[in-house]
Amino acid sequence: MAMYEPIRGHDEEEEEEEEEEEKKKRGVECCSGDVHVDVDVDVVVDDVEMAIHSRSSASATSKIEDEGSKQRRLHQHQPPPKPQSQRLVSLDVFRGLTVALMILVDNAGGVLPAINHSPWNGVTLADFVMPFFLFIVGVSLALTYKKLSCSTVATRKAIVRTLKLLILGLFFQGGFLHGINDLTYGVDIEQIRWLGILQRIAIAYLLTALCEIWLKGVVDNVNSGSSLLRKYRFQWVFALMLTTLYLFLLYGLYVPDWEYQIPIKASSSAPKMFSVKCGVRGDTGPACNAVGMIDRKILGINHLYRRAVYARTEQCSINSPDYGPLPSDAPSWCQAPFDPEGLLSSVMAIVTCLVGLHYGHIIVHFKDHKDRIFHWMITTSCLILLGLSLDLCGMHLNKVLYSFSYMCFTAGVAGILFAAIYLMVDVCGYRRLTLVMEWMGMHALMIYIIAACNIVPVVLQGFYWGRPQNNLVIFSIPAVGYFLLL
């Protein structure tokens, strides 16, 4: 037995060694106390690769997160992009259409007197130009001052723009340039015309801008017509005060007799004196109205427009409604100066601008197209009906006096035209048809100065051959006609 056990023990050791070698071939021996666990090598390798991949992907993810956090920190330090302001295309088109209408009546009015300014009562195509411009100014101011950062800065900018318009108006319409076929320039300060189209627009712009800056209510939620009126009730009170002031002065002031003189051309004799008999109150005729009296008293008769529009009436022209020789029984006031852009008449021009401001408020507070057009049509209908009713009752439509009925009617027509253009361009998207008008509307002031103030013809006339009559303007007219025939 003693000899048997060692041999047996050796056999067991050999068997254990064989088993261990087989285990090494199959796997790796892992010892944990008395328990032996066999692990497959392929599984271990796969687990190790997955661990390495997960660690690398985790590190890559952390790097991406780090880069993203860095970019977020950079974006936080950068200022936010400024919002792009979208222009109201229909407003530019409406402005361009008004400029085109102005050019048409200025150039074709002499050939077609029917579209020229009405000699006194009544309305023609040319009589819509000024109210349209003022209406557009009001709409633009509502969009400009939609959000104010500082009222004082906005007021200062409005005053500066007003001064620029006043200076341009004095230069182009004050008499400095003597017009076509006259190469001279310069104006006598004693004869300068203080008021004009640009001056009237400047005055209306300033007062309307001040109303929009300082006379807004505290109503935040505007969702109906009544809430809109409550928010801007102070502006409506101001418009009512201006209308009351105009009517009180027009019908309440006493107009006494007055006189004027006309210098005799090519003569050294004394100017011819004319006397006009008035002594009335509330008259709205050409001779004895309060509008002309206020201009004569404050501005001076020498600073008024010398080619009065009432010189085309039947009483003053044998070619009426065009200018012409005086009839034999012409009244004494036919040759008197009268400014169509006078002081009292400009009061109602400001009200037209305030009406346009109301249309702009509807754009600001109502975002749906149907709501905008609905509120515009209500205001438009009321204005047109009121203007026509007043005209039938004796307060005639009169552009020269800028009567209250004329203001209501022309502002209502402006509202209809603006709503139609808005529906066509901004709602239906027919923009290609109006590209020319849109461009003209975006450059309205430049076109007005070039076209209405005759800047280009005056400059071209400065280049001539031999004598001033042989200038570029004279030669360009046949050339343009030739190319048009081609």
Residue 30 forms beta bridges with which residues?
37
Q: Is pLDDT at 480 greater than 70 in this prediction?
A: no
CA 10 from chain centre, in angstroms, equals: 112
The CA-based angle 178-184-189, given to 5 degrees, is 65
Q: How far apart are CA 397 and CA 418, in angstroms?
A: 21
The model's pTM is 0.79
- β-pair type (28-32, 35-39): antiparallel
pLDDT for 270? 74
Q: How far apart are CA 179 and CA 80, in angstroms?
A: 52
Total residues belonging to the chain: 486
Select from 164, 170, 117, 400 the least CA-distant residue to 303: 170
Q: How far apart are CA 342 and CA 352, in angstroms?
A: 15
pLDDT for 110? 72
pLDDT for 66? 54
Where does the pLDDT of residue 463 fall: very low under 50, low under 70, confident under 90, or very high at 90 and above? confident
Instruction: Give the range among 45-59, 105-119, 167-181 with minimum mean pLDDT.
Output: 45-59
In order of 48, 158, 340, 365, the CA distances from 40 in angstroms are 13, 88, 107, 76
Q: How far apart are CA 450 and CA 166, in angstroms?
A: 17
Highest-confidence segment of 56-70, 205-219, 406-420, 464-478: 406-420
Where does the pLDDT of residue 482 fall: very low under 50, low under 70, confident under 90, or very high at 90 and above? very low
Q: How far apart are CA 154 and CA 25, in angstroms?
A: 92
pLDDT, tens digit, for every residue of 193-252? Answer: 899 999 999 999 999 999 999 998 887 788 888 899 999 999 999 999 999 999 999 999
pLDDT, tens digit, for every residue of 264-281? Answer: 765 566 778 899 999 999
